[in-house]
């Protein structure tokens, strides 16, 4: 009888252990399920967050693109002291400034740089031309026939030639010579002095310039003149 009770006790213990093990397994499965659900929820939240971030980035990019599409406007550019900017040139270069995305300060910097370059080049050209004129003057003064002590006479004869042969264009011829310094060019000064020698005392050209008339057919042998 005691043995039977002991066996029944053992059976009860086994059943209780199995039940306890079953409960533990159920708890573990439930914990695993809960963990899986939590991970899924977290993944879903992350995915949603990424989607929202993508939308924000896309919207920002669209806004930036819209802003970039708007042309940059510039205030009036300032010219260096003593200079005037070429309006046509500015109109041509402004689209380039806009394309490069330059702000007002950057664009002005380029305008100032270019204007100074033009100024420097102009000054260099003026200096070179002045030196050329001086070299002509030196050469004319050294000319044995028309320079030296005869320079004043040469200039007087040149003036007579212009008045006599220039006619109504004489003032314009004088201005042109003054602008480009042609009166100082040795060859041109000699040419005018020789022409001035053909002018009479009354200021009128001598018939045929005081020189022998040459047959036009001799000057133009290939023409159809009779």
pLDDT per residue as tens digits for the range 50-100:
656 766 665 665 555 555 567 899 999 999 999 999 999 999 999 999 999
Calculate mean pLDDT across residues 171-181: 95
**Nearest Cα to Cα of residue 173 among 150, 192, 200, 147:** 192
Helix (H, G, I), strand (E, B) or coil at 155: helix
Mention every residue, 6+ apart, whose C-beta is less than 8 A from residue 147. 140, 141, 154, 186
Q: Return the pLDDT at 223.
A: 40
Least confident of 41-45, 83-87, 113-117: 41-45
Q: What are the DSSP calls for 29-83, one per residue?
A: HHHHHHHHHHHHHHHHHHHHHHHHHHHHHHHHHHHHHHHHHSPPP-PPPPPPTT-
The domain segmentation of the chain, as residue ranges, is: 66-130, 142-213
Q: With cut-offs at 50, 70 and 90, classify the pLDDT of residue 211.
A: very low
Residue 220 has pLDDT above 50, yes or no: no
β-strand partners of 205:
199
pLDDT at 128 over 90: yes
Q: Compute the average pLDDT of residues 157-180.
A: 95
How much is the pLDDT for 215? 41
């Amino acid at each position: 009888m005691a043995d039977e009770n002991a066996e029944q006790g053992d059976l009860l213990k086994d059943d209780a252990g199995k039940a306890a093990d079953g409960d533990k397994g159920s708890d573990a499965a439930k914990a695993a399920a809960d963990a899986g659900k939590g991970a899924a929820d977290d993944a879903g939240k992350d995915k949603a967050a990424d989607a929202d971030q993508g939308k924000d980035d896309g919207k920002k990019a669209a806004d930036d693109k819209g802003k970039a599409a708007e042309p940059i406007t510039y205030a009036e550019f300032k010219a260096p002291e003593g200079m005037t900017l070429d309006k046509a040139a500015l109109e041509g270069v402004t689209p380039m400034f806009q394309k490069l995305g330059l702000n007002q300060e950057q664009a002005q910097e380029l305008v100032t740089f270019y204007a100074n370059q033009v100024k420097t080049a102009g000054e260099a050209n003026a200096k070179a031309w002045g030196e050329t004129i001086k070299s002509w003057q030196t050469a004319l003064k050294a000319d044995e026939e028309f320079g030296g002590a005869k320079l004043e006479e040469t200039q007087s004869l040149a003036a007579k030639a212009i008045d006599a042969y220039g006619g109504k264009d004489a003032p314009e011829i004088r201005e042109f010579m003054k602008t480009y310094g042609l009166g100082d060019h040795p060859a041109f000064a000699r040419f005018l002095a020789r022409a001035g020698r053909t002018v009479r005392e009354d200021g009128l050209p001598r018939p045929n310039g005081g020189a022998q008339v040459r047959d036009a057919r001799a000057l133009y042998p290939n023409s159809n003149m009779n």
